């Protein structure tokens, strides 16, 4: 009687190896894409936080100064926006002061001659409107738009806009 021995082949064929390598490559591609997307979102989030933080600071400085101001120049009873880039007022000590906006790639907001926005943020739009009805305190409307200067690409560049109304305490 003859016994048949079967030879057991161990190992993988070339086709099986190619399938596994292809699946591994696809998996790595998906993982890399999700990691890059996560990093982009993180960068944009940091950028937006920086812009909003600057805008909040600028608005708080303006509100603090204007609340205690004695008067604001060029207030009209109609409240029609004049889109002025400069707001002149008399501060609580009776000294003439102003806020001004410079628009553009290096745009900023200044209080007097001192810049109050960060170098990392550019002011893209700004307007001051003052109105005063008879018997009411002056009301100043401030609208400021800014964008991040540190991000070079369009999709990474964060932009934010804020608006507020400030009533003078003294008039």
Alpha-carbon distance of 76 to 130, in angstroms, equals: 7
Alpha-carbon distance of 143 to 129, in angstroms, equals: 9
Asked whether residue 117 carries a pLDDT value surpassing 70, the answer given is yes
Domain ranges in the chain?
14-167
CB neighbours of 165 closer than 8 A, spacing ≥ 6? 139, 140, 141, 142
Upper half-sphere CA count for residue 103 (Cβ side, 13 Å): 11
Alpha-carbon distance of 73 to 94, in angstroms, equals: 13
Alpha-carbon distance of 149 to 158, in angstroms, equals: 9
Q: What is the pTM of this model?
A: 0.74
Q: Using one digit for the tens of pLDDT, what is the confidence trace for 71-96?
A: 888 787 777 666 689 999 999 999 99
> 27-31, 39-43, 112-116, 124-128: which has the minimum mean pLDDT?
39-43
Both tokens of 48, joined, read 């937006």
The pLDDT of residue 39: 80
């Amino acid at each position: 009687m003859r016994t048949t021995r079967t030879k057991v082949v161990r190992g993988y064929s070339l086709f099986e190896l190619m399938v596994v390598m292809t699946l591994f490559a696809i998996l790595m591609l998906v993982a890399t894409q999700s990691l890059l997307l996560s990093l982009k979102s993180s960068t944009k989030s940091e950028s937006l936080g920086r812009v909003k933080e600057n805008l909040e600071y600028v608005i708080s400085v303006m509100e603090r100064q204007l609340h205690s101001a004695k008067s604001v120049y060029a207030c009209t009873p109609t409240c029609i926006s004049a889109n002025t880039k400069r707001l002149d007022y008399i501060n609580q000590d009776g000294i003439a002061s102003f806020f001004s906006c410079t628009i553009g790639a290096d745009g900023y907001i200044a209080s007097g001659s001192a810049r109050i926005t960060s170098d990392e943020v550019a002011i893209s739009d700004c307007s001051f409107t003052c109105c005063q009805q008879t018997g009411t305190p002056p009301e100043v409307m401030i609208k400021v738009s800014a964008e991040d200067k540190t991000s070079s690409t369009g999709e990474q560049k964060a932009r934010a806009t804020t608006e507020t109304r400030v009533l003078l305490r003294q008039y």
